[in-house]
Chains A and B, each alone.
Chain A
Amino acid sequence: MMAAALMSVAVLLALAPAGIALSMHRRGSVIVYGASLVVSLTLLVIALLNLLDPAHPILRATLPVGLPWLGAHFRLDPLSAFFLTVVNLGGSAASLFALGYGAHERSPGRVLPFYPAYLAGMSLVVLADDAFSFLVAWEFMSLSSWALVVSHHREAENVRAGYVYLLMASFGTLALLLAFGVLAGGTGHYDFESIRAARPSAALASLVLMLALLGAGSKAGLVPLHVWLPLAHPAAPSHVSGLMSGVMTKVAVYGFVRIVFDLLGPPEWWWSIVVLAIAGPTATMGVLYALMQRDIKRVLAYSTIENIGIVFTGLGLALAFKAETMDWVAALAFTAALLHIFNHATFKSLLFLGAGSVLNATGERDMEKLGGLIHRMPQTAFAMLIGCVAISALPPFNGFVSEWLTFQAILLSPALPSWGLKLIIPAVGGLLALAAALAAACFVKLYGISFLGRARTDAAAGAAETDRYSLTALFVLAALCLIAGIFPGLFIDALAPVSKAMVGNSMPHQAGLEWLTIVPIAESRSSYNGLLVFAFVLLSGSIAALAIHRLASDRLRRAPFWDCGFPDPSPTIQYSASGFSQPIRRVFGTVMFRAREIGEMPPPGSALPARLVVEMQDPVWETLYAPIAKGIAFATERINILQFLTIRRYLALVFVALVLLLLVLAIW
């Protein structure tokens, strides 16, 4: 099976150069995306077979490539199998979508070669079993996605996004490189098996944790390392945006889990404080940023940051409980994080692909130029509605289940002995609750402004329903959101071997419980049954509808809307995206973004209209990145004089440097 997996990845790699040739061909995109779909499905089946195999086999393979004394090690264990499932589920959906969407690409030559390479890179990261192949695959994934981000390079904004992305990706890889360096230590054994066997000292292990947080966190989008994400994710073609947000951030989480839960050994008690202190603010700030946007894809990208915050909250709790050897609660928190990873991959891919359909049909990403799409694109609108409800963590869809499990883990945390955790966990719980409520607000806005109401522009009024490949992809993902929401027990059971391998225990077996209820600890403590809740809501809604239509009235007539007596047919009377979030901006934004509303009045006698201008500042950019950029600019100005020295001075410099080095060596 391992051979089949590696063969599939090799096919994807071979598709990349073929993509260059095929991009000239009329049906090139169909061939590339079709082949990617088949390979992704194959990998998905392999991963699922491995994950669901009751024996939980660990498959290994070594290829004679890479470093001559090391070779390339690959391994498929439950953790890899789970992430391989997520990667290729997203990959299959995106490829299916692209079968229709890719036909509209203006410059296929800039997308087709990199797309299969990108898919291959992500699968290789989760399969790699030594530091060298891991880092090579990681860079491969980063660079191919960078190429896709700048594929529409004529827009200045995309080029800037690509630049920031490249900088942050290099920084992240550097951190990971150092982390693996510290892990391998003096022995220089870079395969994960030796790293696992060598136990680093507490100080070194803590250093590795920090480096892993920097390296994987910058790729996943943890605040304050998230700045590239909302620029780069929306810039790529939509199916690639879906992959970057729904899948690549998960590969980053995989990197963190692999290093911290697997390679590092038993955690220190205070590690979880660091992780939680980053995760909580990431969740809340991510969604607050999202609420301030009006570009659909940018809203979705910021919301990814929020969801990564939720995932890392689960991981942080799992670390805390693992350190106190309460492994049954650690299993609960860890499973919650994994389930949220899967859930987020489904609904975020769905939403990005849906946004791609809208972009394709209208040419607009700005919500304030859309509106009324539910009339013009009813099927896309229906699938998007499911995605929006699911990501807002509302029952009976899947987003709710994973947040519910995270909350259950939080409720068990008063048992933790450490005072730091006692103070930080309630705060993180509060931030998570706030993020959940704000996410609902954010997706009411996204859906309500762009899909409901009346068309604000001709482009929106003339939109047509998207093609059937794209629709199939959307509906498959939407169905997964519902299935994972009403049968969560099956998914929790599938994750049991992963949590067993990483935290030493798994959640109690759920599939045997009556009515498919999920019971994380004991029934007297908490239980949830998505199936019954769904059935009850469906049943009582239909009973109400039936009873009222039969017994009371079923007549209906159409009339112009009323609007409290001011029926103005102009679509500009509708709320705009920024208008919708104005109350929330006033409540939260005045502190966080220093948001100000300035009414600009024209001078007396002028015929210009008065304008309302909103000013906002990005706190992370202002306090962290702007000073760094300033510092670099300052330093380069100073060093610049070295460029204009005479040859004698250069020789003197070389001489002084040599002497200094020799002195250092002598003292050493």
Chain B
Amino acid sequence: MVLDLISQGGQMLLVLLLAPLLTGFIRKLKALLLRRRGPPLLQPYRDLIRLMRKDVVLAESASWLFRVIPYIIFAGTWVAASLVPTFGSGLMFSWSADLIAIIALLGSARFFQALAGLDVGTSFGGIGSSREVMIASLAEPAILITVFAVAMIAGSTQLSTIAEFMESSAVGLRVSLGLALFALIIVAIAENGRIPIDNPATHLELTMVHEAMVLEYSGRHLALIELSSYLKLLLYVSLIACMFLPWGAAAAHASVPALALGAVAYVVKLAACGCLLAIFETSIAKMRVFRIPEFLGAALMLALLATLLRFVSGSL
């Protein structure tokens, strides 16, 4: 009980502390792949601290909602991230929200983010929000259907149960899981605004999606939004890790050494996924906005196929 509580609290702090590191790692790696020196690994932390100390410059036409939204986005993303098993599946509060609820929490964060883009009443905020909801309207069903496929195989939408099932030998090699993994990766790329959907480093006006929505934010508000997007990236990597790379994660009510082993395994998985993402991003160009639906449509179809296979045959 106490250990579970510590494990839950530790997880909340861990994701918060690791999230900027993952982003810093990917940035550094991308720079190295392009034969640049790149920013130091800890630069995201410094950015966050610097931003938090600065004054907020608020647009005159901004409403109270605009000032509250960064906290809502951060809280929603943080709660979601702390419910995804990272180093061990025995999370104290994992039963309070299953995978569908976690996705819906991220949906809430995005809903408010899109509203923030419209609040000040600028053209770029509108462009960002409008594109974001278009991307979300395809990415969200894709991930929900992926969840259906996985949940029907594992017999649960409870993430800790799914993680334990995936680690057991009952899972075997299944076509539908492969399709689901592929769909999940596409969605993760889209949801985090990575290349080829969106470029997190761009400030070229007409290509922005996420950056356009947060253009009017500054100071601590911007820091929270940045931190939320780091957390979201970590969340998706953890999600893929706990469903498809479950090896090494500690089971529920595990001992301290098992938890430590789980933590090491988790960091290794993060690093591996970060490397893959960096390599993928440097080897591909950004898409035109209206090519995105085709890319995401592929994820939707793959996820649907995975679900259909599960309906048609118990073993595929």
Contacts and interface: CB of A to CB of B under 8 A. Distances in A.
A584 B134 contact: yes
B53 A552 contact: yes
Most chain A CB atoms below 10 A, which of B101, B110, B125, B127: B101
Contact of B137 (A395, A437, A528, A560): A437
A553 B220 contact: yes
B157 A411 contact: yes
A526 B79 contact: no
Contact of B129 (A448, A527, A541): A448
Given A392-B111, A537-B76, A573-B122, A526 B98 contact: yes
Chain A interface, >50% SS class: helix
Contacts of A392: 107, 111
Given A441-B133, A447-B115, A581-B130, A527 B98 contact: yes
A562 B58 contact: no
A326 B307 CA distance: 22
Contact of A537 (B79, B123, B216): B79
Q: For chain A, give the interface size range.
A: 35 or more
Interface string B106-134: 01101100110111111111110111011
A427 to B, nearest CB: 8
A527 B100 CA distance: 10
B57 interface: yes
B34 to A, nearest CB: 26
B63 A548 contact: no
Contacts of B205: 564
B308 A423 contact: yes
Contacts of B57: 556-559
A374 B157 contact: no
A246 B293 CA distance: 34
A575 B157 contact: no
A536 B92 CA distance: 13
Q: For chain B, give the interface size range.
A: 35 or more
B7 interface: no
Most chain A CB atoms below 10 A, which of B105, B122, B124, B308: B122
Interface string A212-232: 000000000000000000000
Nearest to B117: A448
B187 to A, nearest CB: 12
A524 B161 contact: yes
A454 interface: yes
Most chain B CB atoms below 10 A, which of A385, A445, A538, A575: A575
A657 B17 CA distance: 90
**What 10 pairs across the A-B complex have the smallest Cβ distances?**
A575-B126, A448-B118, A541-B75, A453-B121, A561-B59, A583-B134, A437-B140, A441-B133, A433-B141, A552-B52
Interface of A: 371-372, 374-375, 378, 385, 389, 392-395, 400, 404, 407-408, 410-411, 413-414, 422-423, 425-427, 429-430, 433-434, 436-438, 440-441, 443-445, 447-449, 452-454, 515, 517, 523-529, 532-533, 536-542, 544-545, 548, 552-553, 555-564, 566-568, 571, 573-575, 579-584, 586-587
12 contacts: A423-B311, A426-B148, A429-B307, A430-B307, A438-B137, A440-B137, A445-B133, A453-B120, A527-B96, A559-B59, A559-B60, A575-B130
